[in-house]
Amino acid sequence: MTLTPHGEPWTAFGVSPLLLLGPGEIIGGQEAPPHSRPYMAYLEIQHKGKMSICGGFLVSKNFVLTAAHCKGEAKLNRWVDTIALPCAGKRVKPGAVCSVAGWGDTSTDRKSSSARLQEVDVVVMPDAACPRKPNGPYRFYDASTMMCVGDPKMGKDSWEGDSGGPLVCGKRAHGIVSWGPPTPPGVYTRVSTFIPWIQATMRRLLP
């Protein structure tokens, strides 16, 4: 099953930033060692005759957490496992180095998607690095539900096809690749804000 806040796209944000900005590729990263991220899920979404790729991550054998704009039960083994979530309200401090992984594009020309899982380290930025200026690229940014991630000086980021993948900080999935402009920082869903909803949804849907 896929968890998306309130059961439909964009409810967490109120509006779709992807109408203006493209979703989240691993830029400036490297291939992840085999089986190093057993919680990663590769999702292929068919919509209006077009196939798109998203990432996701297992939070239990019954649930994959992914981005709201991405639409079976996993068999856990030594190569497939879950990842821990943060406590409700827990925030990662600016300057923290986290990691993100995905099968998305590896350059902004959107012509170089990867057949193998890629990973990259990224820096959590202060909310001020994603300023809500009218007509600016971050005008939909909401610090209560979103995280500003990626140092523009480093040029490392997630991109097309990585949407839904986890931002891993201290072995916990603190963020979800969501949206952003072609250059960092990018915008990630702040998982800790939705912990009560995630837990309630899992309890409600499990038999």
Angle 81-82-86 (CA atoms, 0-180°, nearest 5)?
A: 155
Q: Are 122 and 97 in contact (CB under 8 A)?
A: yes
pTM for the model: 0.73
Of the two residues 5 and 112, the one the predictor is more confident about is 112
pLDDT at 111: 53
Helix H, strand E, coil C: the string for 94-136 is CCCEEEEEECCECCCCCCCECCCCEEEEEEECCHHHCCCCCCC
Domain spans of the chain, in order of start: 2-205
Give the tens place of pLDDT for each residue, 136-170.
999 999 999 999 999 988 876 665 556 788 999 99
Q: Are 136 and 128 in contact (CB under 8 A)?
A: no
Place of tokens 């820096």: 123
Classify residue 124 as exposed, middle or buried by CB count within 10 Å of its CB (0-12, 13-18, 19+): buried
pLDDT at 185: 94
* pLDDT at 6 exceeding the cut of 70: no
pLDDT at 183: 86
* pLDDT at 188 exceeding the cut of 70: yes
Q: Are 54 and 47 in contact (CB under 8 A)?
A: no
Q: What is the CATH number of domain 2-205?
A: 2.40.10.10
Of the two residues 3 and 36, the one the predictor is more confident about is 36
Asked, as a colleague might, if the bond just before 185 is cis with ω within 30 of 0, I would say yes
Of the two residues 94 and 183, the one the predictor is more confident about is 94
Phi and psi at residue 182, in whole multiples of 5°?
A: -65, -20
Give the tens place of pLDDT for each residue, 118-136.
888 999 999 999 999 999 9
Helical (H) or strand (E) element with 202: helix 195-205
- Tell me the percentage of the chain whose pLDDT exceeds 70: 70
